Chains A and B, each alone.
Chain A
Amino acid sequence: MAVFERGGLPTQAEFHEAISNRSDRWFAACLRITRSRELAEDAVQEALLAAWHKRHQFQGDARLETWIHRIAVNAALQLIRKNRPGVFEPLDTDIADNGDSPESDLANHDLGDNLAAALRHLTEIERVCFVLRHLEQWKLKEIADETGTNESAVKQALFRGVRKLRVKMADMRSQ
């Protein structure tokens, strides 16, 4: 993995190396957020272009792959906000998301794990908040900033998400 001295500019070859080594992980993270292969692919594409053009901002004490990963997740969030306006509006009611499209079904299948199946039962904001906090290890404040909500709404979404997942995962284990 490419690790740079502070101030070092990532080269084209290092971008290619990062794509070869880590793009599956960027794609999977974006897929968990968007539940659409096409949006996930576009998010990675946009992230790579943004990272290339902003590479002078890259902090050399981090890994290039990690930096691009973060940009890709941000791009995925932006894409779903653009494609599904109001998606991060806080919900008053505890509604399960039973409206999966065939494409999101396919995306869940592609993720290939029990967690992905259980995530189907979360609303969009619950899923995104859970994925960002639990899998991506973002802080609640960062999630609120990037989703354009507030920390309290993120907490509530996370609580609901964790509650539902505990029930669903227990069901799956007992079957």
Chain B
Amino acid sequence: MINDDILTLYYYRDGLTEAERARVQAAIEEDTALRARYEQLCEDVESFAAAEPVAAAPAAVARWHDSIERVARIEQQRASSRNRVFHLPSFAWGAVVAAALVVGIGIGSYFSGNNVPEPSIDNGVADTAMPEPRSPSVTFARGLLVHLRESRQELADLPMGADSERAMLIMQMIQQNRMFERAAVQNESQDLARVLRAFEPILMRLASDDISPADAEALQAQLAFELNVMLTKLRRNVSEVTGPI
């Protein structure tokens, strides 16, 4: 007995051996009722056509173009620095340290729960307008805890030196960070979103090629410290609501 499931596999030319296919084909040729069932199945399945795709959001397309530009730029910087005869001290290192410190202040203020104005970071420029922090949902907070723990581990495991694997891993961390930043916005935790956003320029610096191994190591240590602080505070906040995790 050849049922519609077998006919489906026959239609897709998949999942049947040559001998099974030959048997089905012979049966279809001999059996009028079976042939009618198969023709109906073909007609039905061929009607499962997708409409023309709806366009992706222009902002998303711009982000995709932007991401290719950035990784290409990082590679070009890396290639040009390899060609340098002397390694010049990284002029940008001061900016990196400053950015890391600002992130630290931002995180500290976020978790302090007082009304001290908290700096926001946008390309290293701080301003003082800051809403009162709101508690993110427990589900989101637990997800964020996992993300921060993974980020801390990924940071610790980052391969040293300028290779594409390292840059790719950091870009993935940035993508993850962006997802949680958006989730923070959806959870009406604008201040937390801002803190997460502040990690991105530092991660971008970490991915770039004009940073010496020693500087990169120091920056990783600084980020690991900030992640620890954030994890501790967040864990405490979640435990206060739900009990120990």
Contacts and interface: CB of A to CB of B under 8 A. Distances in A.
B54 A169 contact: no
Contact of A12 (B15, B41, B72, B171): B72
Contacts of B179: 38, 42
Interface string A129-173: 000011100011000000000010001001100110110011000
A38 B4 CA distance: 37
Given A53-B167, A133-B12, A159-B8, A110 B68 contact: no
Interface stretch (B57-65, B88-96, B217-225): B57-65
Interface in A73-112: 110-112
Interface residues on B, range: 35 or more
A59 to B, nearest CB: 19
Interface string A6-40: 00000010011001100111011000100001101
B54 A19 contact: no
Majority SS of interface residues in chain B? helix
Interface stretch (B17-25, B42-50, B227-235): B42-50
A4 to B, nearest CB: 17
Nearest to A39: B179
Nearest to B46: A134
Contacts of B85: none
A115 B8 contact: no
A50 interface: yes
A44 B47 contact: no
Closest 8 CB pairs of A and B: A28-B53, A113-B51, A27-B56, A159-B5, A12-B72, A41-B60, A53-B168, A166-B44
Given A111-B54, A139-B14, A140-B14, 16 more contacts: A15-B68, A24-B55, A25-B53, A42-B179, A44-B64, A45-B63, A45-B64, A45-B175, A49-B171, A52-B68, A53-B71, A118-B48, A140-B15, A155-B5, A155-B15, A165-B48
